Amino acid sequence: MKILIACEFSGIVREAFRKKGHNAWSCDIIDSEIESLYHWKGDVLAILDNGWDMMIAHPPCTYLTTTANRVFKCNPERWQARLDAVNFVWKLMNADIPKIAIENPKGVLSSYIRKPEQYIQPYEYGHTDSKMTGLWLKNLPLLKPTKIVEPEWVYPKSGSGKRMSKTHANNSSTNNPENAKLRSTTYPGIANAMSEQWG
């Protein structure tokens, strides 16, 4: 299959599908962390009509997550950025591609567009992190867990008593671009499940 991995800089999902023999390409506005001839740097909307059989998209969640709702108060620029982000996802969802999966953490897409077909967790695919992630699917089956493990929790020193996954606790500030990248990278166990079950 000819597969587009949209909004992916890590190359993890792209490489999982390429290892299965698919003609998989990643696309992002930044370079791929895994150097490859199969990464297109630019706006993914410009290549949606290039004859793809499937697209797996990871649109940025900066303005889509509900965890930052407190900063939207009296902030019209932030609201406009959220509307632009939702519109971008809408265009991806309605692309003329036979099979589509949109991946995003729990956020406003459920109320602005529609609820996802399922939520998945990294600890269902061999990783000890917790990160509830929605999958909006078109002509694809639900993703089945491959290796359920016990999640590991960290309790930050703030004394709030709130538990966090290791990745989020160790990379807590999304104002730091490198931390934001770490928090948004697809877990290899999930990428492998996608390539095995959807490929």
Total domains present in the chain: 1
Residues in the chain: 199
Q: How far apart are CA 99 and CA 69, in angstroms?
A: 32
Share of the chain above pLDDT 70, in %: 88
| pLDDT higher at 74 or 161 | 74
Quote the pTM value: 0.89
Question: The domain that contains 144 carries what CATH number?
Answer: 3.40.50.150
pLDDT (tens digit, 9 = 90+) per residue, 41-83? 999 999 999 999 999 999 999 889 877 677 777 788 988 999 9
Average per-residue pLDDT for the chain:
91
How buried is residue 74: exposed, middle or buried, by Cβ count under 10 Å (0-12/13-18/19+)?
A: exposed
Q: How far apart are CA 163 and CA 155, in angstroms?
A: 5
Please say if the pLDDT value at position 28 is more than 60: yes
Lowest-pLDDT choice from 91-95, 124-128, 141-145, 170-174? 170-174
Please say if the pLDDT value at position 176 is more than 90: no
Q: How far apart are CA 50 and CA 173, in angstroms?
A: 37
Identity of the highest mean pLDDT range in 102-111, 151-160, 161-170: 102-111
Residue range of the domain that includes 33: 2-198
**What is residue 69's predicted lDDT score, i.e. its pLDDT?**
73
Give the model's confidence band at 37: pLDDT under 50 very low, under 70 low, under 90 confident, else very high.
very high
Please say if the pLDDT value at position 172 is more than 90: no
